[in-house]
Structure formats: C-alpha cells, structure tokens
Copies of this chain bind each other. A is one copy, B any other.
C-alpha cells in the first residue's frame, strides 16, 4: 500500500465564495497551491497572490498530495472526480481528496469506494459557518472517511476550520451535515410558529424572544434566525434555495437509513413551500414570513 504523506502541494477546485476563501487560508498556512475553476476569472485573485492555475481537475490533481474541492451539488462532484478530465485521471495513489461540498451521503460513500480502488482516499467534509467562517478560517468541518487520510491531511483542515471532527466512515460527514440542517429548519419552523402565536395573541415578540432565551428553549436559531424574522431582515445570509437543497439531501438520508423522521419530512416540505412562494433568493429565515402569512398576518 502506498504510504500517505503530508501534502506539500494542495490543489483546490471550485473558486466560489466558500472555495476561494478556503483556498486563500490554505495558501496562507504555507502550502504550495494550485487552483482550478470552471471559469478562470474567478481564480484571478488567487493566481495574482501566487497560486498556480490548472485548466482541468486532472491537471490540478497532477503533483498535488491533497486535492480539495468545493462545488454546488452531487453531479458537480461526480464530474470533478470522475469526468473525462477528472481528478481520478491526474491523482497519484496516496493522494488525499477532501470534498468540502454538501452532497448526498450515499453518493459520497460510493465515490470514496471508487477512489479507494485507485489507492486514493476521499474524505467528505461538508462545512458549517458560512462565508465569514470561510474567510476567518473558523469553519466547522464534519468529516467522514479513513483515519489515515484524515491524519495526513490534518494541516489542511486546520488551515480552514476550528471544530474538526472525524465522525465515521465515508459519508459520515454528509450525514452529520444533514443532521445539522434538519435541526436548524425544524427549529426555525417551531420558532416561527411560536413568534407568530405571540404576535397574534398581543405579546411583544422581542420581549418574548428575550424571555425564552433565558430558559430551556434557547438555541442559536432563537437567537439569530428569530431576530431576522422579527426584524423582517431576509437579506442572505444563507439562501432558502440552498437550504432547500440541503434539506432534500437530509430527507434522502433519513429515508436511506430507514429513520422514522416526520420532523425532517415537515422541514423539507416547508423549504419547498418557501422557495415555491418566491423566497428562494431570500435568507432561509424567510420561512418565518411564510408561516406568518399562512397564519393570516398582513406583514
């Protein structure tokens, strides 16, 4: 078996808001960096800062000890990894591939298996913390995959994240991310119902939120998403259409694992309704506006 060594050159594929910020932190922490993206224009800043440009994923993987990617959805990851000019054609045995994308857990596990047949370790590591966490290098990394690969790539994780947890076999990171998203949407729905009830019953909802934050119902969602709902501030943030993608994945994950999950099902249906009611480009907390509207409130 080819030994897995700490990487000297890291490749990063996908120069979206998240990917570009993560790549910058990886370069800052001392790695040689190769970047690749569908359109070169998005990579110009990184190239100017000293990164090498690779026109394809295959080229990016060639000579890199660690290949990172952060792309929108499952088919994008499949194309980057296994497409005609994909990572698998350029990566040497022993390479560690870290997929920071949020995609289907079952697909992640299958991709890892196909990569392992070539002696390549694929780790799934969806993140939480948003663009600011990516810029600050304080992301939460939920990692699934082989222990040896995780250890070898530890310095890369440390460059982008703060809370970094190896949770289990390949796909486990995606399962944990699904858990994260289903809990957030379920909490948003409950908070929206609670605040709407308070407003309709004549309570001051800001006072109500404050009182509830002092008790056992307190949560990040009650602190942050509830504030957005009460302020009618739905500027993203995290767009509802992206949350819909994530909660669809969570619904698939509970189904695939035979979990009795009525709360996840409800959360998924609500995010469909949020997007279908024209709120896809708003922050996902606009779920609160939909619940208020369906409760007969005018604003």
Beta-carbon contact of A260 and B194 below 8 Å: no
Contact of A128 (CB < 8 Å), options: B193, B216, B257: B216
Q: A176-B212, A183-B187, A257-B295 are in contact. List 4 more A-B contacts (CB 8 A).
A: A163-B211, A175-B198, A259-B291, A263-B266
A104 CB–B CB distance under 8 Å: no
CA distance A198 to B174 in the complex (A): 10
B-facing residues in A183-206 (Cβ within 8 Å)? 183-184, 186-187, 189-191, 193-198, 200-204
Beta-carbon contact of A217 and B187 below 8 Å: yes
Q: How many copies does the complex hold?
A: 2
A49 CB–B CB distance under 8 Å: no
CA distance A210 to B216 in the complex (A): 18
A92 CB–B CB distance under 8 Å: no
A138 nearest CB neighbor, chain B only? B214
Interface size on A, residues (CB 8 A): 71
A274 CB–B CB distance under 8 Å: no
A48 CB–B CB distance under 8 Å: no
Residues on B with C-beta less than 8 A from A194 are 178-180, 182-183
A264 CB–B CB distance under 8 Å: yes
Beta-carbon contact of A171 and B201 below 8 Å: yes
A294 CB–B CB distance under 8 Å: yes
Contact of A215 (CB < 8 Å), options: B129, B218, B260, B291: B129
Which listed segment binds B: A1-9, A110-118, A150-158, A219-227?
A219-227
A225 nearest CB neighbor, chain B only? B216
A120 CB–B CB distance under 8 Å: no
Beta-carbon contact of B204 and A168 below 8 Å: yes
B-facing residues in A130-181 (Cβ within 8 Å)? 140, 142, 162-163, 165-169, 171-172, 175-176, 178-181
